Structure 1
Amino acid sequence: MSKLVSASAAARLIKDGMTVSVSSSSGLGCPDLMLKAIGERFEAEGHPRDLTTLHPIAAGDMSGIKGVDYIARKGLLKKIIGGSYPSGPSSAEPPLIWQMIGNEEVAAYNIPSGILFDMHREAAAKRPGVLTKVGLDTFVDPDRQGCAMNARAASEPVLKKVEFEGEDWLYFPAIRPDVAIIRATTADERGNLTYEHEGAYLGGLDQALAARNNGGIVIAQVKRVTKDGSLRPHDVRVPGVLVDYIVIDPDQKQTTQTGYDPAISGEIMRPLGSFRVPEFNVQKVIARRVAQELEAGSAVNLGFGISANVPRILIEEGLHGAVTWVIEQGAVGGVPLLDFAFGCASNADAFMPSPYQFTYFQGAGFDASLLSFLEIDRNGSVNVSKLSFRPHVTAGAGGFVDITARAKKIVFSGMFNAGAKLAVADGRLVIEKDGKLKKLVNEVEHVTFSGRRGVEQGQDVTYITERAVMKLTPQGIVLNEIAPGVDLKAHILDQSEFPLIVSDRLKTMDAALFAEAPIGLSLPQKPARTAGGAHG
């Protein structure tokens, strides 16, 4: 019997009240046609209703791939659990899913991406759930928001804090999907799936196992179908025994606003000269200072924001390859991409499935992480996941909590305050007008990284802005460097809601950071690894 069905026929397989797991990372790998078909069926028939949907990273982002907004309909969704959600400019109308969340029309949760993948793995093996310390003392912790994004979710907890062998742990019961909707490039007639045009494998295999092992079905959206037996077995990432139905979308995008780029899927290698070097501005100054925190030979995670430009700083400085970049979607090595292609990399050394990349992150196997911040508080805690006055501008945490939970070294970067009018001239920072919105606050609105946990675990945490470099210590946040041209009191101390500790060895940031020419960056060599390292 043929597994090939239309998208509308596949949508009719989803019954009222089912739990549906959807594989994608924003636009990357999003089964957009299938989500559209489910939404169209609901509009026409009023079914399926009361679905619970799981999105371990994110589905769709409103910029060419609509994704989850196709199914953001009152009555269709009862509960949604995502690693992150579509975001957009503050001037734009909020995505439909954010309107539903704000109107209490769906119970919405933000569970860290790695934990969501862990929940699928535990469901597949018919184990009770995930026991983890990832998320303690953050918004994930039931002592705070417990992952709930609105009041409706808060009334239906998805985790609890438990004591195990004398320690506090977070327990997430496994969720067993009735349907998994995954995506690949090619399926053969038996349903074997290959990913040759994809920018990442993501977690399709784990999601398929979770559905299949619990009596559910697996629907695979692909670009094309080939003859049975024509795929190399080493290339098959999801075997046909796990796939029940195949839906063809010959027009599926590789990622947001990208039809197909063979460099994203590792089929060709781009010349280094083809990568755009950041224009000289305040953000580049910050990215350069972040780059000075690196060691040659390190494996370094990157997050969205200013730090995403650091690989291009290394290219400009002739140091490409000095560190290996690792991103949560699964790319290892190469050059992580920017803007709508973030989550992809060109010239990668390898693609790991996302669930295994998160195991690497949760266990702190990598050397450093470069991430952004929206707010920092007196305890050193960081918020990247919620701003009440602009909720749809933030996407949620994604893998941020998984990455920072035990990371040895974290460098947070961002602007010192919001709305400042700044310039760079003659090797110094010029603050023409300071911003009205302080980002160093007494207490962050949402704890995405816990400064208290960071101190307890001895994590090396640095905060880098255009005008100051600060360090988390047991005594508080210490100011170690200020930009040339900056007034310590007026531009830094008075712009923080809490007192900063000024180092006895306060120094001026390197003036070369504030000039257009390359800075002559040199990275110290990372110490060689030895057996019997840190245990935690």
Structure 2
Amino acid sequence: MDTFTERRLKLLRQHLRTLPKQPAVVRSPCDAQASTDTSKVISASEAAQLIPSNAVITVSGFVGSGHPELLVNAVRERFEHCGQPCNLHLFNVAAVGDGKGRGLGKLAVKGLVTRYTFAWSGLSPEFHRLAKEGAITAWNLPLGVMAHLLRDVAARRPGPITKIGLGTFVDPREQGGKLNSPSQADAVEVVTLGGQEYLWYKAPAKIDVALLRGTTADLDGNVGFERESLLTDALNQAMAAHNSGGVVIVQVERLVASGTLPARTVHIPGAIVDKIVMAPAELHRQTITMPGHDASLTGEIRAPASHIQAMQIDERRIIAYRAMLEISKPHTIVNLGIGMPEGVARMVATHGRAQIPHALPAHLTTEAGMFGGFPAGSARFGAAHNADCIVPCATMLDFYNGGGVDIACLGAAEVDQEGNVNVHSFPGRQPGCGGFIDISQAARKVIFAGTFTTGGLKVTVENGNLKIHQEGRSRKFKRRVEEKTFAASSAKGRTILYVTERAVFRLRDGKGIELTEVAPGVDLERDVLAYMPFKPLTAPSIKLMDERCFLP
């Protein structure tokens, strides 16, 4: 045999030794044990067999990103075949879904999950249905609290002690975050330290299983996130499960040889990863509702700003424009919420240089961990095109809770005469509070953005004047909100604004909301006060909203 052939055979043998061994038999989803193979690489069905009944599990992801879909589907499939695992406690930060059953909602089956602790579940409404039916016991807690609870499980701490949530529905003197009944277990207590009130959120005793997702894994289990748009809470989830004596399973799209991932690209070390599962592209989408890969969301490339289209002149643009004008000085750090506030990012991109050049650059951020760039919307919410920096969710919420945000623009579903806001629970929907409480209680200035009425509202702008052709079926201003996601009592002298397409209000501490601006073309009595069940305070001189909001 010649030298060249011997060298090729040697290289082939070395390569074959690095490949994961395959099980000798094909196992069904109901097999009692997974493969006895010592390799970390296993199938999704084998991974599902590692989840015991009665376990506390956590699943990675944020709104539409970072979801280990293959693993979640495998858990559902095993339950359907043999009723195992069952009675799980799902501990989740921001559930990924499409609103139609895809995503974390696959686990919303009677008997599979019986306890659910979450921050936001707007695209997995199946859990709301189970809670309403009494099939699961559910707790809704602030997003930052949920992220920090995972970190505290990893560190064996009792849970965060914070002012976040005081006066809101998560305060135990209100609902305590309980979705079913007052008799369910308490997740939070009021404590006094140094003469001041805080909320103590109780960390779970353990996390038994973490189902996570990354991009590339080597055979030792080291995981890189180079094609992920967010880091989410994956590292803290892995540490929490590992330090609880649990199992850490990571879904990836690529597998490489041991030692070939540069240390700086590894986000989860192989030392705390038990198993790796390779996923097909269809079940490993960057965004669950969208095929394909956008490299500008991961920092691999920078996309040209020219792809951002200007908003058409309607109620959403008016509100976004007015909110943008609150950015008044350079290097303002801005948080933008999901929904209506997403338009502020587009307005900054398309009109910022012309209308607020004195206030640029502005640093737009999201609670998911993005600094800078152009925040994405819809199912991609949380990620950003051309971001300057991507940090874990828990780290970003540390920054937010400490007052790092200069201006926050958030949505508003209900506003009452005291200035309280509800976004987490209303008839037909119970998406959860998400990061709303963390942000609204700590940002230096808060703008609540939303239409004056909703459900069929039709307006146009003619010659710079707002014309209301049809009112929405539901009124957003109430005498009292159903539940408080923002408590007006937490304002403590901060600037709090309520921006709609036809009027702007300001919170007066301890006195309620005050009408300060109306849109040109609007009749105060007919178009504003007639749709409010209470009479707001009135500024000495009511101004017209900035005319630029109503011009092309």
TM-score by length of 2: 0.89
Q: String of CA shifts for 1:19-42, please: whole Å, max 9, x gaps.
A: 001111122001111111001000
Aligned partner of 2:465 in structure 1 is 428
Cα pair 2:370 2:390 within 8 Å, conserved: yes
Q: Give the whole-Å Cα distance in 1 for the aligned partners of 2:251 and 2:395.
A: 23
Cα pair 2:224 2:268 within 8 Å, conserved: yes
Cα pair 1:425 1:515 within 8 Å, conserved: no
Residue type of the alignment partner of 1:163: T
Are 1:478 and 2:514 matched, yes or no? yes
Q: Give the whole-Å Cα distance in 1 for the aligned partners of 2:316 and 2:160.
A: 39
Aligned partner of 1:80 in structure 2 is 116
Residue type of the alignment partner of 1:160: E
Q: Deviation of residue 307 (structure 1)? A: 1.5
Aligned partner of 2:18 in structure 1 is none
Residue type of the alignment partner of 2:363: T
Cα pair 1:25 1:60 within 8 Å, conserved: no
Residue type of the alignment partner of 2:366: I
Q: Give the whole-Å Cα distance in 1 for the aligned partners of 2:179 and 2:96.
A: 17
Q: Give the whole-Å Cα distance in 2 for the aligned partners of 1:202 and 1:437.
A: 35
Aligned partner of 1:266 in structure 2 is 299
Aligned partner of 2:369 in structure 1 is 330
Residue type of the alignment partner of 1:249: A
Give the stretch that moved more between structures: 346-355 or 141-150. Answer: 141-150
- 1:64-463 aligned at under 5 Å gives the runs 66-87=102-123, 95-151=125-181, 154-175=183-204, 176-251=206-281, 252-258=284-290, 259-295=292-328, 296-319=330-353, 322-387=361-426, 389-391=427-429, 394-418=430-454, 419-454=456-491, 457-463=492-498
Q: Deviation of residue 405 (structure 1)? A: 1.7
Give the stretch that moved more between structures: 254-263 or 227-236. Answer: 254-263
Q: Deviation of residue 318 (structure 1)? A: 4.6
Q: Give the whole-Å Cα distance in 2 for the aligned partners of 1:279 and 1:188.
A: 48
Q: Give the whole-Å Cα distance in 1 for the aligned partners of 2:399 and 2:546.
A: 34
Cα pair 1:480 1:506 within 8 Å, conserved: yes
Residue type of the alignment partner of 1:413: A
Q: Give the whole-Å Cα distance in 1 for the aligned partners of 2:366 and 2:50.
A: 34
Aligned partner of 2:32 in structure 1 is none
Given candidates 482, 503, 508, the residue that maps to 1:468 is 503
Are 1:492 and 2:514 matched, yes or no? no
- 1:20-59 aligned at under 5 Å gives the runs 20-59=57-96
Q: Give the whole-Å Cα distance in 1 for the aligned partners of 2:222 and 2:524.
A: 62
Aligned partner of 2:23 in structure 1 is none
Q: Deviation of residue 399 (structure 1)? A: 0.8
Which 4+ stretches in 1 moved above 4 angstroms? none
Q: Give the whole-Å Cα distance in 1 for the aligned partners of 2:139 and 2:309.
A: 37
Cα pair 1:438 1:497 within 8 Å, conserved: no
- 5+ long unaligned stretches in structure 2: 1-37
Q: Give the whole-Å Cα distance in 2 for the aligned partners of 1:154 and 1:189.
A: 48
Cα pair 2:56 2:209 within 8 Å, conserved: yes
Given candidates 10, 18, 43, the residue that maps to 1:6 is 43
Q: Give the whole-Å Cα distance in 1 for the aligned partners of 2:535 and 2:313.
A: 32
Q: Give the whole-Å Cα distance in 2 for the aligned partners of 1:329 and 1:133.
A: 21
- 1:277 partner SS: coil
- 2:258 partner SS: coil
Q: Give the whole-Å Cα distance in 2 for the aligned partners of 1:301 and 1:4.
A: 40
Aligned partner of 2:6 in structure 1 is none
Cα pair 2:408 2:447 within 8 Å, conserved: yes
Q: Deviation of residue 154 (structure 1)? A: 4.8
Q: Give the whole-Å Cα distance in 2 for the aligned partners of 1:397 and 1:436.
A: 24
1:439–1:154 CA distance, 2 compared to 1 (3 A)? farther
Cα pair 2:63 2:379 within 8 Å, conserved: no
Q: Give the whole-Å Cα distance in 2 for the aligned partners of 1:343 and 1:256.
A: 14
Q: String of CA shifts for 1:424-479, please: whole Å, max 9, x gaps.
A: 1110111223334221111111211011121xx21210111011011001222111
Q: Deviation of residue 363 (structure 1)? A: 1.0
- 1:263 partner SS: helix
Cα pair 2:153 2:159 within 8 Å, conserved: yes
- 2:496 partner SS: strand
Residue type of the alignment partner of 2:186: P
- 1:485 partner SS: coil
Give 1 or 2 for the bigger CA radius of gyration.
Answer: 2
Residue type of the alignment partner of 1:135: G
Q: Give the whole-Å Cα distance in 2 for the aligned partners of 1:191 and 1:436.
A: 54
Aligned partner of 1:62 in structure 2 is 99
Q: Deviation of residue 512 (structure 1)? A: 2.6
Q: Give the whole-Å Cα distance in 2 for the aligned partners of 1:314 and 1:136.
A: 33
Q: Give the whole-Å Cα distance in 1 for the aligned partners of 2:352 and 2:449.
A: 23
1:340–1:500 CA distance, 2 compared to 1 (3 A)? same
- 1:231 partner SS: coil
Give the stretch that moved more between structures: 348-357 or 338-347. Answer: 338-347
Q: Give the whole-Å Cα distance in 1 for the aligned partners of 2:458 and 2:93.
A: 38
Pairwise CA RMSD: 1.5
